[in-house]
């Protein structure tokens, strides 16, 4: 399991570091729990997946609502999703790729795995515009 700095997280999320920190604080306020080491937050691969989900959801709802959804999914990860459109299929594929990102990074390396997630993000955004 990898540990990410806020700077690394911001780069992957294509955000300013201050925005990444704000998102982490917002997620904590919604009930999401980050690990801590010596009173400092440590961002794990699972946390990165949550932050990527937050980025996806924040395109469709405000930050507070998106944080509530991500926090709730963190508590109930066995959620069943009904799929009935191209966008929802692409969204489900994107989520699945995010869930296996930690093992992909381990087995394939960070750059390839992150590039694949970025490509899927682009496809998802295109489908969102057409739905």
How do the pLDDT tens digits run along the chain, 131 residues long?
578 888 988 998 899 999 999 999 999 999 898 877 777 777 888 888 899 989 988 888 899 998 998 888 775 444 334 334 566 767 777 777 777 777 777 777 777 778 777 887 877 777 776 65
Q: What is the rounded CA–CA span in Å between residue 45 and residue 57? A: 18
Please say whether the beta carbons of 47 and 11 come within 8 A: no
Q: φ and ψ at 80, to 5 degrees?
A: -100, 135
Strand order in the sheet with 3-4: 3-4, 40-44, 35-37
Taking only Cα atoms into account, the Rg of the chain, rounded to an integer number of angstroms, comes to 14
Q: Which residues are bridge partners to 32 per DSSP? A: none
DSSP symbol at 4: E
pTM: 0.57
């Amino acid at each position: 399991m990898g540990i990410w700095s806020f700077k690394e997280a911001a780069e992957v999320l294509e955000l300013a570091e201050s925005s990444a920190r704000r998102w982490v604080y917002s997620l904590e306020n919604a009930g999401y729990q980050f690990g801590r080491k010596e009173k400092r937050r440590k961002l794990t691969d699972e946390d990165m997946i949550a932050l990527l989900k937050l980025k996806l959801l924040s395109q469709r709802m405000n930050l507070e609502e998106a944080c509530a959804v991500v926090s709730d999914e963190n508590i109930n990860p066995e959620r069943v999703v009904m799929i009935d459109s191209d966008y929802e299929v692409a969204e489900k594929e994107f989520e699945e790729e995010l869930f296996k990102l930690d093992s992909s990074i381990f087995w394939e390396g960070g750059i390839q795995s992150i590039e694949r997630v970025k490509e899927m993000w682009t496809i998802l955004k295109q489908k969102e515009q057409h739905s």
